[in-house]
Structure 1
Amino acid sequence: MDGDADPGTVRPGGRTARVRAAVLRATGDTLAEQGFAHLDLADIARRAEVGKTTVYRRWGTVTGLVADLLTDMAEQSLPRTETGSLLGDLTANARLVRRTLTDPRQGALFKAVIAAATCDPRTAEALHRFYELRIQEWAPCVQQAIDRGEVPEGTDPHEVIRAVSAPLYYRLLTSGIPLDEAAADRAAEAAVAAARAGAYA
C-alpha cells in the first residue's frame, strides 16, 4: 500500500482507481465462488490487500459493494454491435448475453446477485439499474430498425431488447439445459419475428 491520499481524494487512475479495482475484483471473486451470504467487508479488504477502514469508509455495507460492482460491470460491458439489420444486431446482443452467462466467473456472479436481489432491496435496485443501462445501450438498434422500416412505428425498443435476453436468463436459472449459441440465436430470431408482427408496438 502506498502513502497516497485516501480514496476519493486523488485523480482517477491513481490510488483511488487501483483500490476500487482490487476491492471490486475481490467482491466478484467471492460472489462467484461462495455467493452473497459469504460476502464480508473485512474479508474483502483482506483479499484485496487494502485497509479494512478504507473498505468500510468507502462502501459501508455489503450491498454498497455489490451495487458498485454492478455499476462497474455496466460501465465495462461491451458497446452494442451495429450490423445494419435488426436480426444481426439482436443476434450479436443475444450471443453477448450468452457468453456472459456461460462464463464460469460471470455466470456464477450473476446467479449470486440475482439470488440476493430476491431478498435484498438495495441489491435488487442495483441489479435493476445495471439492466436498465444495458437496455439503454442496445435500444438504439431497435430504433434504427424502426427508422429503416423493418418493424412497425411505435415499437417499444426496450421491450424488444428485454425479449432477447429473457429466454436466456430463464433457461440459465430454471432448466439446467446448457445455454448454447443456438439458444441465443433462437432468442434473437423470436424477438425479431415478434417485433415485425407488432407484438411490441
Structure 2
Amino acid sequence: MLRYRYPIFIALALFVVGLALTAALQDRHYILLSLVLLAAALFPLFVRLERRPIESRELVLLAVLSAVAAVSRIPFAALPSVQPVSAIVILSAYVFGAEAGLIIGAMAALVSNLYFGQGPWTPWQMFSWGMVGLTAGWLRNTRWMRSKIGMMAFGFIWGFLFGWIMNIWYIISLPDAFSWGLVAAAYVSSFYFDLAHALSNVIFLSILSGSWIKVLERFRKKYGLL
C-alpha cells in the first residue's frame, strides 16, 4: 500500500484544486469540472490496476456498487441527510479496498445527482464520499473496523466530517465577506443535518453490515475480484 500512497496524495491534490476552481466559478462549467474530478478519483485505481490485467467483471462490480449507492439516495429524498450511501461506500471499501471505495463514493455522488440535480456542489460531494471510501479501505484491517461497533462509530464520525467538508463549499460560495462569525453560523446551522447523517450511518451499518459483508466477501473470494 505504501507504494500507492504518493499517487493517491496526487489525486487528492487534484481534488483540492478542482474544488477551489468550482467554488470560484460557481454555476459555470461545473459539469466539466465534475468530470475532471472523477478522472482524478479514478487515477489511483489506474495506478494500482495497471500492474496486472484487469478483468471486465471487476469494472462491472464497481459500476454496480456505484449504481446501488447512487439509487439508494432516491427513496430517502424527502428526509434531508438521511441516506444509506455512506454505509454502502464504507462496506464496499471494507471488502474491496481503499481504491474501490474511492471510486464507488465519487461515482455515487455524480450519478445520483443526475436525479437530484448537478451543480457546483457535485464535486464536493464526490470528494466527500470518495474520502469516506478511501479512509474506510485504509482502516479495514484494523481492530476498530473489524468490530461492528467500531465500524458504526466510523460511520458516525464521517456523518459529521461529510457535513463539515460540504460547509466549506457553502461558505466560499457566499457573496458576503469572510468572517469567523459566518463560519461559526454555518457550522452551527448544519449541526442537525450532520447529526441526522451520522445517526443514519449508524442505523444503516447496523442493518446492512452483516449480510452485505458476507455477500461481497463471497463474490470477492469466488471470482477473485480486486
> Scaled by the length of structure 1, what TM-score is found?
0.40
> Scaled by the length of structure 2, what TM-score is found?
0.37
More helix by share: 2
